[in-house]
Amino acid sequence: MDYLSITGPSRLGGSIEISGAKNAALPLIAATLLCDRPVVVNNIPDVADIRTLLKLLGKLGSRFVFEEHTLTIDNESIENTTATYDIVKTMRASILVLGPLLARFGRCEVSLPGGCAIGQRPIDLHLKALEQMGATIEIKNGYVVATAPEGLVGTRIIFDKVTVTGSENIIMAAALAKGKTELINVAKEPEVVQLCEVLQKAGVEIEGIGTGELIVHGTDREPVCFEEFSIIPDRIEAGTYLCAAAITYSTITLEGVRPDHLDAVTAKLHEAGCRVACEGDKMTLHPAARLRSFDISTTEYPGFPTDLQAQFMALATQAEGVSIIEERLFENRFMHVSELQRLGASIHLKGNTATLNGPIQLLGADVMATDLRASSALVLAGLAASGVTNVHRIYHLDRGYEGLHDKLHKLGAKIERLSE
């Protein structure tokens, strides 16, 4: 099993290219199920989650070629509509095939996502919405069995709470439904917006893109025809590298980014004393003379993203004063706290709020990644720590960061990927 060995403290410099957004690519690859002819998608990150979804589509009958960040996929010959547990268990986003499969074929069986305890990161909002559109939903032997032999019918759906994958699933389902579907309390994340924009260019009329209320005019099971398109830049990857520059008091430039997707992030970096300069699709972070403490409360876009909470917690260990970080979206998003404490971080955890006292001189140690974003937080802490930090279980990192150690090495970090 591979691990990362980081010798710090580091000073970084130079520029790197930001990859396409995994969280935009996954629903858009699933959306190609709505089409019965070849589709070309550019700027796809080569990460484990993408490979997992493609493996799933291959089992359904998709034919595809994925090389040099370009995917050519043809879903004309799909006959199998069962997404099996052996793949779905490894990636929750596999549930995104539910909406498009049901809308196009009128039936599907999709395994409940791995570790899915309905009530925590539930899919009940997806299922409730599909039932409102006329589907019959049953849970059998760990699978969602969905049928709508006459197709889905547009209706008015109010999401009880904002759900990104739920919004994406139902938008895709509504694209082939009969009549119009009104969606209320829709997620406004850039990844949801791009899904709508691509579907619109494919011939699906969608009103209200970028707002919390959408009207999707369905094609009545007529497959859509996608034009060639490119995945938007990964705002979470960009935010992670901005934190890498800030925590090491370094100046770096990111290329191929969407600064407008990072307003909440750059606002907090400014609060911490850093300066972020934007020019076109480039962002340059100029470090603080001395990092200042800051407060964060995660929320839905355009608020501060939960996917950057862990990275900013690592940054807060080096900020002068008391920082308070409140996690409002996921109850188990603080698993990195104990690992940061192994490096010397002063963190007090109470409920969904972490209080950090800084700055603290972190000391290298062996730490264990528990999830994707926690992994990157430990890497950031390792860049600031004195001595050697070994980050284990980095298969979590491989799910969402393409060549992280290569990019950090290019910026000047002393980092190696080794095998245990």
Vertex 87, ends 83 and 91: CA angle to 5°?
105
Token pair for 164: 């990104």
Cβ distance 34 to 176 under 8 Å? yes
Cβ distance 66 to 43 under 8 Å? no
Rounded (10°) CA dihedral 154, 156, 158, 164: 30
Rounded to the nearest angstrom, the gap between the alpha carbon of residue 271 and the centroid of all alpha carbons in its chain is: 25
> Distances in Å between the alpha carbon of 145 and those of 30, 58, 301, 386, 400?
18, 20, 32, 53, 29
CA 356 – CA 322 distance, rounded (Å): 6
Residue 349: enclosing H or E segment and its boundaries? strand 346-350
Q: How many CB atoms lie within 10 A of CB 260?
A: 10
| b/e sequence 279-299, b meaning 16+ C-beta within 10 Å | eeeebbbebbeebbbbebebe
- CB within 8 Å of 279: residues ≥ 6 apart: none
Please list the residues that pair with 276 across neighbouring strands. 285
116 tagged catalytic: yes
According to DSSP H, which parts of 229-289 are helical?
Answer: 235-247, 263-271
CA 171 – CA 186 distance, rounded (Å): 9
Report DSSP state, residue 291.
P
Sign, CA torsion 142/332/261/245: negative
CA 387 – CA 363 distance, rounded (Å): 6
Number of helical (H) and strand (E) elements in the chain, helices listed first: 14, 24
DSSP string, 25-88: HHHHHHHGGGBSS-EEEES----HHHHHHHHHHHHHT-EEEEETTEEEEE-TT----EE-HHHH
Catalytic one of 35, 108, 116, 278: 116
Burial grade of 65 (CB within 10 A; 0-12, 13-18, 19 or more): exposed
Q: Which residues are catalytic?
A: 116
